[in-house]
Amino acid sequence: MKLLIVESPAKAKTISKYLDGKYTVKASVGHIRDLPKSNKKAIDIGDNFKPSYEISKGKESVVSELASLAKKADEVILATDPDREGEAIAWHIAEAIKLKNPNRIVFHEITKEAVTEAMNHPRKIDQDLRKAQEARRVLDRLVGYDLSGLIWKKLRYGLSAGRVQSPALRIVMEREREIRAFIPENYWVITADVQTDKKEKMTLTCEEEPKTQDDADKILWHAKKESWSVASVKETETKRSARAPFITSTLQQTASNRLGFAPSRTMGIAQKLYEAGHITYMRTDSTNLSKIAQDEILSVVEKKFGKEFVSPKSFATKSKNAQEAHEAIRPTHASTFRAGSTPEQERLYKLIWERTVASQMSDANILKTKITAKVGAEVTPPFSIVGSRILFPGWLLADPEGRGEDVEVPKVSAGDKLKLLNIDALGKQTEPPGRYSEAGLIKELEKRGIGRPSTYASIIKTLNDRGYTTKNGKSLQPTDTGEAVSSFLENNFADYISDSFTAEMEESLDDIADGKKQYEKILKDFYGPFLKMVKSKDKLDKITNLGDAPAEFKCPKCGKDMVIKLGRTGKFMSCSDFPECLGARTIDGSELEGPKDTGEACPDCKDGKLMERDGKFGRFIACSNYPKCKHIKKDAELERQNSTGILCPLCKVGMMTERRGRFGIFFSCSNYPKCKNAIKTKPTGNICPYVKDDGEKCGALMMEGTKTIPERCSNRLCPNHNPHKLPGATPKKKSA
């Protein structure tokens, strides 16, 4: 038996079709090992930053199966993705199942030809690539662990920082400050609808934008009174060249702008297309096309559009670290016009096909036309319109949306009379720079050298998931929490979240991948000074206040001044005499129902007070010294209201009680934490009657089921959890 290991089941399914049964193809289902959550166990800094890995939770059975198959196999080949992460996964698989010098193959498209070619040229695991990925992972862990720990102490528990995430947040915050500092100015836009002698209509715009209403009214008065005519027509023939085939960043940007896909969604869809063999690998910064692919594309262009549209091109890759052996993102077969098993896959494939095919087509010839009109004897500023006409469509035939929103203009000549149909002046204000969209932020990160193709989507997803940014339409807007975190890092770690430092670190990782620098030296040179700075900031006072509140807002309870604080839901105003006074307001000044003093002392820490609060899962009573003291008092009345009246079968003391957690409603014993019995669905009160082979009863609670199964056992290991598995039961039919 011969064994070939890939990452995903879908990829395994596609590849197995091309190997004619000669290989057993199995999937690791992504990463199988990772660093432990505890940083003390994860990285041995004293031993040259040696990482200590463990099998990822839930992957034990995968590793066991792969190890068992590998022992029986005559040959084992690792065919993980063709990038650093794929190289790292291959190495982790080899280490976990104890392979000695396994063969490794790479391919950038999952086609029979590419897989066959790769099988003919196996190599060993590239330790430089693997080390580069390991260095990235260790760096991110060290920075995130130390910075996050400091932010927990000084700002608020539960916040985080990251090596690449924090510079991205800083960029978003810098734009937000520009917007706040912007002072708008008034101006008027005057537009006129006119008609030619041939009854053709067009809308002209005044070339000057008056700053006052009086100036605008004067232009309107003269425009309505005087005659109109064409002053000049300027035509310029230009060529528009096709854009380069997609790389990761441009695919994410274009899919965001045209299809409305978030970067993470784009990459997920592209992954499915790649695994099904429809497109080449989607994490790349190279615009290169192979000679075979280019010849196929040119053939498709000639057959579909005509010989005059054929124009072979190569494109310079902007990224200085791009690997030219890699290819741009393209269809594996240009002759396949449609592909994908879902509508969104079809839409993304169409976008990739159009961009790739258009890249090998002739330039579009466009006649740009500027028509200028005058009013009377030029008593007002001129009015004009700029439009275009396509003389030769070229690549626009394949990618029509690439044209944008050009305006078609009528054919006129200087001196032609125009008839004014309508004229309006619209008062406006100058606008601040726009917030970054997801596509815009990716473009900015790429320009500044922050991150790499595989990280753009995860950077933005992390900012959103952490609650540091929120999407307002298509724009990324920093939250109060994001602003507080970014300000703290900018004030205290400006050098480590700067563009230059982050870009230089990316280059160092590239040097490790190229074998030019050593993993240990890069980490040592970075971590010594970094840790020293983190420790020096430990002396900072805790940032409990973010500044004084506006003077007009006084405490609603005692009338004292207020300060701005950061809560889990954002900024709010708190009495400056907290915790003696619990007065609070929302950031816009409305009175806020704050924690209520129960008058009881905390039984755990003694100096704290028990406060009644409203949390996202309901009312609770906790110590005022949280998070130092995590004492929570049970609310007997609330327990009584939510009790199901069913005795817990595990401790036989508490009652099964309805609760709400981060994943929704569940039912657990009221005797928690002494008893940790919990189930997902409401209990029926019955006890599972199933008897094991040794005569022992299951004894777990039965819980509500479905229409076809009214109740089932809450114990997942019991066959009665899924009655179809009971001895003698009719097997569940698989849906077609």
Tell me the catalytic residues. 281
Backbone angles phi, psi at 641, to 5 degrees: -65, -35
Locate 426 and state its tokens.
């619209």
Q: How far apart are CA 2 and CA 69, in angstroms?
A: 9
Q: How far apart are CA 610 and CA 625, in angstroms?
A: 9
CA nearest to 329, candidates 380, 280, 385, 396:
280
Q: How far apart are CA 725 and CA 609, in angstroms?
A: 53
Q: Which residue has the tokens 């000057």?
A: 208
How would you classify the pairing of strands 75-78 and 2-6?
Answer: parallel
| Torsion on CA atoms 504, 508, 513, 517, rounded to nearest 10 | 160
Q: Where are the beta strands (DSSP E) in 284-441?
A: 364-375, 383-392, 417-429
CA nearest to 395, candidates 321, 334, 509, 313:
313
Locate 491 and state its tokens.
């004030």
Q: How far apart are CA 134 and CA 138, in angstroms?
A: 6
Residues forming a β-bridge with 368: 236, 388
Q: How far apart are CA 354 and CA 361, in angstroms?
A: 11
CA nearest to 230, candidates 198, 193, 196:
196
Locate 130 and state its tokens.
């693997």
CA nearest to 193, candidates 182, 201, 185:
201
Query: What 3-state DSSP class applies to 554?
Result: strand
Order of strands across the sheet that contains 655-661: 643-647, 655-661, 664-669, 678-679
